[in-house]
């Protein structure tokens, strides 16, 4: 049943985690101007984030997924594209300017439109919106001829200990592929070869469920075809990535690092079979180790750094954080390196700091839609099943964000992301065998669940997980293994009506 360690609290293992060299300095949170909590506030937060005891009615404020930042849930496709409800009037223009840059289609250099040139020379998309469709999830190819996809392959090779970052304990040293870098790009400007063509094949596997029901899972097999610069390194590790939804990022950024780390239990001290770990990554922005919060393996610490890395890797756009005009091109790719780039003019970089700040502001302030049907009897039953089955051990429902000195939209909000933002071993079925910072090849960050029930409305599909292999929420649950295997088996064996209620609860998020 319920385990107290699922929720933020002081504990012996949390104290040990915070004191470890792996997390030294991580609690500084240089990206935030924090007003420290008073003892009275800490007590109130502990009470409001405690486990539920009543499943006969919704909890207080449960429909307000993002606190005062929650936006109205509508039945239109752009429901993920609205500004946080509590954004100031003067900030709405900034949000709209950032939206314009997020949607901007970049062009190759040289161009008469200096503010838009610099694409590539190799890239995966010409705009941010191209992958984050309507600010929602991307999707894998539906067939061999489907080019309208939002998926690519990350690539790296094993490194030696001396290649790692000494300041981060348990850092798993990896290196970019010497020819292809750390990400494969399937598009390129004229005169420059693209790196590859993404290919995936699926094998159907049946899973027998209680009540005589049968589910179908598709097991993917990925291939980098038509390699434009010769073979990959013999030890290359490939990992597919589908673009995640964009909502609520600023609120995730504002969660106290201490509250996230407090849920980590790497040695499973409490014996519940769940041993989440914090990913600690090197911040290019602040030149220090920080808690990883963003990305499928929590590989980025801030929205600014996540945005700048995406500009560089996905679109080939340089910035002050990632200044290479050739983007992901390596020195082995001579045609790419010698191509004309868009940096070096009055902007200095292809996107200047003002533009990067606008995109970051937009990404930070995309609102989370309100919950639907929170009082529906089947939803309430599904919520009870969610807790009883142990799903909340990783998909932690609630946090309270830091109180911020500027009192912005993310300041001191009770939010319901349904994630602990920690790394968990998800089993061999989901393993990509590619480490990232402290994350092993079997570990993934717990995906936030807020807004997941609106995926089909926003993105036009119901593909889930890091590579979109799951075609429904039930399939996504059935792919859970490793630390989540007990919970997955419980879903397989439970009464069909309880399984239906669980899915109905997830659809209400």
Given a contact cutoff of 8 angstroms between Cβ atoms, the answer to whether 439 and 431 are in contact is no
Given a contact cutoff of 8 angstroms between Cβ atoms, the answer to whether 426 and 433 are in contact is no
Chain mean pLDDT for the chain: 92
Per-residue pLDDT of the chain (509 residues; tens, 9 = 90+): 333 333 333 333 344 444 445 565 678 899 999 999 999 999 999 999 998 889 999 999 999 999 999 999 999 999 999 999 999 999 999 999 999 999 999 999 887 777 788 999 999 999 999 999 899 999 887 765 565 578 999 999 999 999 999 889 899 999 999 999 999 999 999 999 999 999 999 999 999 999 999 999 999 999 999 999 999 999 999 999 999 999 999 999 999 999 999 999 999 999 999 999 999 999 999 999 999 999 999 999 999 999 999 999 999 999 999 999 999 999 999 999 999 887 766 678 999 999 999 999 999 999 999 999 999 999 999 999 999 999 999 999 999 999 999 999 999 999 999 999 999 999 999 999 999 999 999 999 999 999 999 999 999 999 999 999 999 999 999 999 999 999 999 999 999 999 999 999 999 99
CA distance linking residue 184 with residue 323, whole number of Å: 19
Contacts of residue 43, Cβ cutoff 8 Å, sequence gap at least 6: none
Look at residues 157, 154, 160, 151 and name the one whose alpha carbon lies nearest to residue 182.
Answer: 154
Sign of the dihedral through C-alpha 31, 35, 39, 40: negative
Given a contact cutoff of 8 angstroms between Cβ atoms, the answer to whether 252 and 246 are in contact is no
Question: Cα–Cα distances in Å, from 400 out to 63, 106, 321, 332, 494?
Answer: 15, 38, 30, 48, 33
Contacts of residue 241, Cβ cutoff 8 Å, sequence gap at least 6: 151, 152, 153, 154, 296, 466, 467
Tally Cβ neighbours within 10 Å of residue 77.
15
Contacts of residue 38, Cβ cutoff 8 Å, sequence gap at least 6: none
Given a contact cutoff of 8 angstroms between Cβ atoms, the answer to whether 279 and 445 are in contact is yes
**Residue ranges of the alpha helices (H) in 268-376?**
303-310, 334-338, 353-364
CA distance linking residue 3 with residue 436, whole number of Å: 30
pLDDT of res. 14: 43
- 315-333 pLDDT, tens per residue? 999 999 999 999 999 999 9
Burial class of residue 161 (count of CB atoms within 10 Å of its CB; 0-12, 13-18, 19+): exposed
Contacts of residue 119, Cβ cutoff 8 Å, sequence gap at least 6: 106, 107, 108, 109, 126, 189, 315, 316, 317, 342
Look at residues 506, 415, 505 and name the one whose alpha carbon lies nearest to residue 62.
Answer: 415
Contacts of residue 115, Cβ cutoff 8 Å, sequence gap at least 6: 347
pLDDT of res. 144: 59
Both structure tokens of 303: 């929205």
SS3 for 200-219 is EEEEEEEEECHHHCEEEEEE
Q: What percent of the chain has pLDDT over 90?
A: 85
pLDDT of res. 22: 55
CA distance linking residue 229 with residue 232, whole number of Å: 9
Angle at 262 between CA 257 and CA 299, to 5 degrees: 50
pLDDT of res. 113: 75
CA distance linking residue 200 with residue 125, whole number of Å: 19
pLDDT of res. 219: 96
pTM, entire model: 0.94
> Within 13 A of 129's CA, how many CA atoms are on the CB side?
15
Kindly list the domain boundaries of the chain, sorted by start residue.
4-507
3 state DSSP class of 48: helix
CA distance linking residue 297 with residue 281, whole number of Å: 11
């Amino acid at each position: 049943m319920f385990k107290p360690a699922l929720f933020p609290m002081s504990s012996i293992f949390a104290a040990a985690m915070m004191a470890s060299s792996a997390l030294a300095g991580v609690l500084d949170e240089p990206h935030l101007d924090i007003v420290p909590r008073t003892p009275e506030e800490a007590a109130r937060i502990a009470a409001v984030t405690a486990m539920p005891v009543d499943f006969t009615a919704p909890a207080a404020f449960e429909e307000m997924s993002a606190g005062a930042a929650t936006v109205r849930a509508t039945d239109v496709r752009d429901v993920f594209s609205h500004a946080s409800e509590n954004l100031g009037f003067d900030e709405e223009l900034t949000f709209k300017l950032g939206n314009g840059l997020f949607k901007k289609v970049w062009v190759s250099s040289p161009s008469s439109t200096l503010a838009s040139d610099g694409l590539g020379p190799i890239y995966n998309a010409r705009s941010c919106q191209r992958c984050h469709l309507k600010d929602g999830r991307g999707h894998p190819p539906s067939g061999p001829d489907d080019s309208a996809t939002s998926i690519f392959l990350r690539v790296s090779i094993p490194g030696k200990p001396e290649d790692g970052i000494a300041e981060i304990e348990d850092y798993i040293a990896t290196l970019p592929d010497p020819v292809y870098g750390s990400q494969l790009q399937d598009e390129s400007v004229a005169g420059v070869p693209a790196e590859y063509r993404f290919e995936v094949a699926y094998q159907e596997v049946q899973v027998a469920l209680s009540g005589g029901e049968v589910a179908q899972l598709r097991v993917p097999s990925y291939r980098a075809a038509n390699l434009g610069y010769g073979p990959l390194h013999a030890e290359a590790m490939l990992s597919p990535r589908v673009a995640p939804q964009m909502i609520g990022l600023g609120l995730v950024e504002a969660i106290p690092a201490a509250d996230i780390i407090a849920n980590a239990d790497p040695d499973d001290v409490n014996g519940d079979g769940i041993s989440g770990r914090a990913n600690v990554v090197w911040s290019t922005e602040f030149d220090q180790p920080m808690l990883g919060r963003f990305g499928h393996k929590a590989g980025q610490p801030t929205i600014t750094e996540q945005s700048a890395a995406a500009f560089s890797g996905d679109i080939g756009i340089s910035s002050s954080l990632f200044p290479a005009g050739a983007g992901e091109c390596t020195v082995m790719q001579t045609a790419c390196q010698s191509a004309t780039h868009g940096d070096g003019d009055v902007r200095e970089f292809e996107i200047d700091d003002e533009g990067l700040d606008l995109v970051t502001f937009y990404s930070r302030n995309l609102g989370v839609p309100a919950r639907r049907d929170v009082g529906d009897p089947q939803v309430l039953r599904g919520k009870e099943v969610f807790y009883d089955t142990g799903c909340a051990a990783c998909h932690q429902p609630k946090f309270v964000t830091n109180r911020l000195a500027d009192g912005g939209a993310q300041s001191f909000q009770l939010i319901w992301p349904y994630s602990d933002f920690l790394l968990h071993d998800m089993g061999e079925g989901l393993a990509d065998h590619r480490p990232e910072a402290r994350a092993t090849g079997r570990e993934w960050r717990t995906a936030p669940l807020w807004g997941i029930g609106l995926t089909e409305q926003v993105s036009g599909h119901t593909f889930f997980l890091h590579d979109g292999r799951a075609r429904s929420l039930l399939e996504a649950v059935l792919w859970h293994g490793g630390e989540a295997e007990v919970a997955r088996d419980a879903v397989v064996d439970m009464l069909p009506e309880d399984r239906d209620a669980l899915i109905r609860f997830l659809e209400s998020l």
